[in-house]
Chains A and B, each alone.
Chain A
Amino acid sequence: MLKIKDLSVRYRGSREDALSSINLTFQTGEFVCILGQSGAGKSTLIRCINGLQLPSTGTVSWNNQDISTMKEEQIRNVRREMGMIFQHFNLIPRLSVLQNVLTGMFGYRNTFKNLIGWFTDEEVKRAKQVISDVGLNDLMYRRVEHLSGGQKQRVGIARALLQQPKLLLGDEPVSSLDPGTSNHIFTLLQEMHNRHRLLTIINVHDFELARRFATRLVALKDGKVIFDGIPEDFKDKQFNDTYHSIKEKVTT
Chain B
Amino acid sequence: MWFKRRNILTLIILSLFVFISMRLTEFDLSKFKDFRNMIDFLSRWFPMDYEKLPLMIQDSLETLAMAFLGSFFGLLIAIPISFIAAKNTSPSKYLFHFTRVTLSFIRSIPEIVFGLILLTALGLGPFPAVLAIMFHNVGVLGKLVSELIESADPGPQEAMKAVGAKKSFANLFSILPQIWPNVLSHYFYRFEVAIRTSLILGFIGGGGIGQRLFNDFKTFQYSSVSLDVLIIMIIVIVVDLFGSYVRNKII
Chain A residues with CB under 8 A of B167: 72
Check: B161 CB closer than 8 A to any chain A CB.
yes
Check: A159 CB closer than 8 A to any chain B CB.
yes
Instruction: Decide if B177 touches A94 in the complex (CB within 8 Å).
Output: yes
Beyond the given A106-B163, A106-B169, could you list 14 further A-B residue pairs with CB under 8 A, ordered by the A residue number? A76-B164, A77-B164, A79-B162, A79-B163, A79-B164, A83-B163, A88-B155, A90-B155, A106-B164, A107-B164, A108-B164, A114-B169, A156-B159, A159-B159
- CB < 8 Å neighbour of B174 from A84, A88, A92, A115: A92
**With A114-B169, A115-B169 in contact, do A90 and B163 touch (Cβ < 8 Å)?**
no
**With A95-B177, A114-B173 in contact, do A90 and B158 touch (Cβ < 8 Å)?**
yes
Q: For chain B, what secondary structure do more than half of its interface residues adopt (helix, strand, loop), or is it mixed? A: helix
Check: A179 CB closer than 8 A to any chain B CB.
no
Instruction: Decide if A104 touches B173 in the complex (CB within 8 Å).
Output: no
Cβ-Cβ contact count across A and B, 8 Å cutoff: 81
Check: A103 CB closer than 8 A to any chain B CB.
yes
Instruction: Decide if B178 touches A103 in the complex (CB within 8 Å).
Output: no
Chain A residues with CB under 8 A of B173: 92, 103, 106, 114-115
Instruction: Decide if B165 touches A92 in the complex (CB within 8 Å).
Output: no
Instruction: Decide if A90 touches B169 in the complex (CB within 8 Å).
Output: no
Instruction: Decide if B178 touches A86 in the complex (CB within 8 Å).
Output: no
Instruction: Decide if A86 touches B163 in the complex (CB within 8 Å).
Output: no
Chain B, range 30-83, C-beta contacts under 8 Å to A = none
Chain A residues with CB under 8 A of B118: none
0/1 interface trace, chain B 163-194, chain A, CB 8 Å (1 if under): 11111011011100110100000000000000
Instruction: Decide if B161 touches A52 in the complex (CB within 8 Å).
Output: yes
Check: A68 CB closer than 8 A to any chain B CB.
no
Instruction: Decide if A163 touches B164 in the complex (CB within 8 Å).
Output: yes
CA gap between A106 and B170 in the complex, in Å: 9
**With A76-B164, A79-B164, A95-B177 in contact, do A84 and B169 touch (Cβ < 8 Å)?**
no
Instruction: Decide if B163 touches A103 in the complex (CB within 8 Å).
Output: yes
Taking CB as reference atom, which chain B residue is nearest A109?
B165
CA gap between A90 and B175 in the complex, in Å: 12
Chain A, range 165-188, C-beta contacts under 8 Å to B = 169
8 pairs, A vs B, C-beta closer than 8 Å: A50-B162, A52-B162, A90-B155, A90-B156, A94-B178, A103-B160, A115-B173, A156-B159
Chain A residues with CB under 8 A of B172: 115
**With A94-B178, A95-B177, A114-B169 in contact, do A80 and B155 touch (Cβ < 8 Å)?**
no
CA gap between A79 and B163 in the complex, in Å: 6
Check: A63 CB closer than 8 A to any chain B CB.
no
Question: Taking the nearest CB of chain A, how far is it from the CB of B148, in angstroms?
Answer: 13
Chain B contact residue count (CB 8 A cutoff): 21
Chain A residues with CB under 8 A of B162: 50, 52, 79, 82, 84, 169
Chain A residues with CB under 8 A of B161: 52, 79
Instruction: Decide if B159 touches A91 in the complex (CB within 8 Å).
Output: yes
0/1 interface trace, chain A 58-84, chain B, CB 8 Å (1 if under): 000000000000001000111110111
In the complex, the 10 A-B pairs of residues with the closest C-beta atoms, listed nearest first:
A107-B164, A80-B164, A90-B155, A90-B159, A106-B165, A79-B164, A84-B162, A76-B164, A94-B177, A111-B169
Instruction: Decide if A107 touches B177 in the complex (CB within 8 Å).
Output: no
Chain B, range 129-169, C-beta contacts under 8 Å to A = 153, 155-156, 158-167, 169
Question: Taking the nearest CB of chain B, how far is it from the CB of A223, in angstroms?
Answer: 22
Check: A229 CB closer than 8 A to any chain B CB.
no
CA gap between A52 and B160 in the complex, in Å: 11
CA gap between A114 and B156 in the complex, in Å: 16
CA gap between A35 and B156 in the complex, in Å: 25
Question: Taking the nearest CB of chain A, how far is it from the CB of B87, in angstroms?
Answer: 16
Chain B residues with CB under 8 A of A52: 158, 161-162
CA gap between A76 and B166 in the complex, in Å: 7
Taking CB as reference atom, which chain B residue is nearest A156?
B159
Of listed A77, A84, A169, residue having the most chain B CB within 10 A: A84
- CB < 8 Å neighbour of A91 from B156, B165, B169, B180: B156
Instruction: Decide if A106 touches B160 in the complex (CB within 8 Å).
Output: yes
Of listed A76, A108, A115, A159, residue having the most chain B CB within 10 A: A76
Instruction: Decide if B155 touches A159 in the complex (CB within 8 Å).
Output: no
Chain B residues with CB under 8 A of A169: 162
